[in-house]
A and B are shown apart, each in its own frame.
Chain A
Amino acid sequence: MSTRAPHPHNPNRPLVLLGPQRLEPTLADAFDRLEIEGTIAAVTAGWQEREAEVEEMREHVDRPVVNLLLHARGEALFAADPDLAQAYRQRQLTLIELQRLYRLRLHHTLAGAKAMFGLNADPKLLLPERKAAITAVRRLDNRHLRSLRKVHLQFENDHRPFSNRAVAAQREELATLLAGCSALAIAGGHVATLLNRLRLFGLLDLAADLPIVAWSAGAMALAERVVLFHDHPPQGAGDAEVLEAGLGLFSDLLPLPHARYRLRLDDPQRVAIFARRFAPARCVALDSGNRIERRGGTWQPHGGIQKLTSRGRVRKMKP
């Protein structure tokens, strides 16, 4: 092994994204295919207060599992360092407010796009209008993403969390644990909590040489942007929204866990708007049994994985 850790965004790092694991677990199979025999480092921070309950996972993977307990580590850190906790809280409040403002604008901008896609008119006139309506949504998404990144950058400049003694001590412990592991498993759950903890401890830097297998929210957190989505919630219009800048391991794919349940994949308008809004990233349905691997910079889909197309259809994804 090289003495210098590879960059966390190294495209040659083995990376596997899986569909939800509860009913059809395929995690062990993913490790088998990667020929990983050793200990698995587990990130289950998305499970929040149930983070420690990894017995089922341990049984399923049939390999030693080290639970990194990022959620509990974060809680302990905040309890021990009220200043850091306060700074974090303040940052979260800023992010929540930004999200509220973005959501208000998004609702109207997206309504424009939906109206254009719901119309029948002379294609010569209508198609440029549709394109312009999508461009407006994309601009708004990108602007929001820049605002979010600015907040994070400001926080890092102001508080330099990695220089904080308690954070540094936790990172050292994590680095020691990771040194004995052969792969990193990132579970789903609460995507904001998970992302927050991964970022707080700079975990991908610490595990820069490890293959990653991630599912559901775990897969979402690794993308360039985290997009929340649900087409038929009991309240509200079900407008997908950019929540956060993700950890940026890839920007050419947007994983959509539970897509069959959460999205109206039989609604061409919604599918077309979704796919065009986030292009050139491929919007990929990540349902139970699905697996997609990145090898040498390209994605290899398995298990009949599907993607949303700009024409409003759902098609089997090709490499």
Chain B
Amino acid sequence: MSLAIHRLEESGPLSRSRVDAFVAEHEFPLVEGTSMTFVYRGEASRVLLQHFIFGLPTSQPFRRIAKTDLWYLVLEVPPVSRIEYKLSVTRGDGQKWIRDPLNQHLARDPFGANSVAHGEGYEVPDWVEPDDQARPGTIEEHRLESSALGREVPFKLYFPARFRPSRRYPLLIVHDGDDYLRFSVLKTVFDNLIHRLEVAPMVVALITSGNRLVEYADHPTHAQFLAEELTPHLEERYPLIARPEGRGLMGASFGAVASLSTAWRYPEIYGRLLLQSGSFAFTDIGREHDRGPAFDPVVEFVNAFRDRPGMPSQKVFVSCGTYESLIYENRSMVPLLQETGMQVKYVEARDGHNWENWRDRLRQGLSWLFPGPLWMIYE
């Protein structure tokens, strides 16, 4: 198939107005089957695509069409991919990383925002958009003095719409709760999935650590805080199911490590785990690894877990992006988890280590771990 950019290039000398017309006529990146054309317009000495796809060279150079200020790069991208990227543009005054000026789609994260490219067939799920018909839940701010952590811990509680003290609810504790709310629109996701009866109405505790690289890396006091302080505190005060099948832990990246390590340290408490892109780095021999010192305790934990996994939970949902450097570690975790006798569901997506990947997997994970009364309720 001839691509639009190639047809343009081969069509003879390009005037400024023809380039203007080409840019105005298309949306970028331009998706034609599995070919994705990135375009930059402007004076520069070098333009690079800086993406976060593990397995491809991180920087990919654009090509300039002669006698124009139009630069392009064609990337072969499998269907249903989602790619976050920036452009590196070098001009006389130096090199800058910028968001793609021709692409309005952005994904935000704690470090700012990236441009987003959607491969053929990818659609933003409709359940991540606010729905007028979905009754909204509420979020309250709380604090708890923790002996384990030696500080007062702020956290948020999500209560589903039509919360009633006369019924009992599951409890899900979410690591990096503020980031999930901001970057994975977690409140909207819960409101919608509960409204659609796909997920059980539940109470969600959203915790945030000021020092996640330490506290989430299999830190015993973090596990102690969750299992011995926060969970009992909430079960005393709210109508919660208070059995393993009604308790869950969730997290992404180091948050997934914290979820698994807490369940491992306190088996038979949390019957549901939702682990997204877990930083489950391990070594098969020795302790040397190349992921940096923050991973030292993680590698130690994962190695120990791989030796003696026990049966930390009942049902575990694991997801990972195939464009992540952690895909090998997550794939390696699956057979191990299965051998423990736990029910395990593993899902991959053509996406990277980012909040929208984690957002997009929530329906599958939550509806499997905490199924809603979809089949029984006809209001």
Whether the Cβ atoms of B167 and A48 lie closer than 8 Å is: yes
Which of B247-255, B301-309, B371-379 is near enough to bind chain A? B371-379
Contacts of A50 in B (CB 8 A): 162, 164
B369 → chain A, closest Cβ, in Å? 10
The answer to whether A190 and B377 touch across the interface, beta carbons within 8 angstroms, is yes
Given A23-B133, A235-B367: A49 and B374 interface contact (C-beta under 8 Å) = no
A5-37 CB mask vs B (1 if < 8 Å, else 0) is: 000000000000000101100000000000000
Q: Is the CB of A233 within 8 A of B198?
A: yes
* CB-nearest residue of chain A to B371: A235
CB-defined contacts of B373 to chain A, threshold 8 Å: 190
A140 within 8 A of partner (CB) = no
* A73 interface contact, C-beta 8 A: no
Q: Does A45 sit within 8 A of B, measured CB to CB?
A: no
Inter-subunit contact B367/A188 (CB<8 Å): no
Residue contact B364 to A228, C-beta cutoff 8 Å: no
Residue in B364, B376, B378 whose CB lies within 8 Å of A258: B378
Chain A residues positioned under 8 Å from B378 (CB to CB): 20, 188-189, 191, 216-217, 220, 257-258
Task: Say yes or no: A230 contacts B375, CB within 8 Å.
Answer: yes
* Interface size band for B: 10 to 19
Which residues does chain A contribute within 8 Å of B167, judged by CB atoms?
48-49
- Answer yes or no: A192 CB below 8 A from chain B CBs: yes
**Chain A residue nearest to B132 in the complex (CB):** A23
B374 touches A230 (CB 8 A): yes
A223-257 vs B, Cβ < 8 Å mask (1 yes, 0 no): 00000101001110000000000000000000001
A180 CA to B198 CA in the complex, in Å? Answer: 40
Given contacts A190-B373, A220-B378, contact A234 B164 (CB under 8 A): no
Query: Chain A's nearest CB lies how many Å from the CB of B192?
Result: 12
Chain A residues near B162 (CB, 8 Å)?
50
- How far, in whole Å, are A48 and B166 apart by their CA atoms in the complex? 10
Complex CA gap A49/B376 in Å reads: 15
Interface pair A234/B363, CB less than 8 Å apart: yes
Least CB distance, A161 to chain B, in whole angstroms: 23
Whether a CB of chain A sits under 8 angstroms from the CB of B368 is yes
Interface residues of B in 150-204 (CB under 8 A from A): 162, 164, 166-167, 198
- Top 7 A-B pairs ranked by shortest CB distance? A234-B367, A217-B378, A216-B378, A49-B166, A257-B378, A49-B167, A228-B375
Residue numbers of B with Cβ under 8 A of A are 133, 162, 164, 166-167, 198, 363-364, 367-368, 371, 373-379
Q: List 8 A-B contacts (CB under 8 A).
A: A189-B377, A189-B378, A191-B376, A191-B377, A217-B378, A220-B378, A234-B374, A258-B378
Given contacts A220-B378, A230-B374, 19 further A-B contacts (CB under 8 A): A23-B133, A46-B377, A46-B379, A49-B166, A49-B167, A50-B162, A189-B377, A189-B379, A190-B373, A190-B377, A191-B377, A216-B378, A217-B377, A234-B363, A234-B374, A235-B364, A235-B367, A235-B371, A257-B378
